[in-house]
Amino acid sequence: MIYIREAHALDSPWPMATCDGTVMEEPKTAEERAAHCRHCMESLELAPMAAWIDDLGDSANRAYEAWPDRLYLIDRDGRVAFRSPPGPYGFEIGELRKAIEAELEREREERSAG
């Protein structure tokens, strides 16, 4: 998971409390963004999933059109194997699961043939 900018920061166009009632401002430092990421991972119980934070220039967010959230699967060759519509209401987690299963099957077939 890559944690991008906070969608509902108090100083954003759509301020809103997080699922546990916490309110956040847009981070000014990488350390603040990392703290937001930790809060997200803990409050949504996403551990043990690995998480990285986007830089303050929002490079990953801009490259992948990720805001407010989006699901991607990157294959072993670094190609986009799956891209969901924007979330949270535009994607189905089951579609990502299917894409992961298809990618794993592709890899098994490649190993068998090689």
Predicted TM-score (pTM) of this structure: 0.75
- What b/e readout covers 6-43, taking b as 16+ CB neighbours within 10 angstroms? beebeeeeeeeebeeeeebeebeeeebbeebbebbbee
73-95 confidence digits (pLDDT tens) = 999 899 999 999 888 777 788 89
Q: In whole angstroms, give the CA distance from residue 77 to residue 81.
A: 10
Q: Residue 105: pLDDT band by 50, 70, 90 thresholds?
A: very high
Q: Where are the domains of the chain?
A: 1-66, 70-114
12-27 confidence digits (pLDDT tens) = 787 888 778 888 899 9
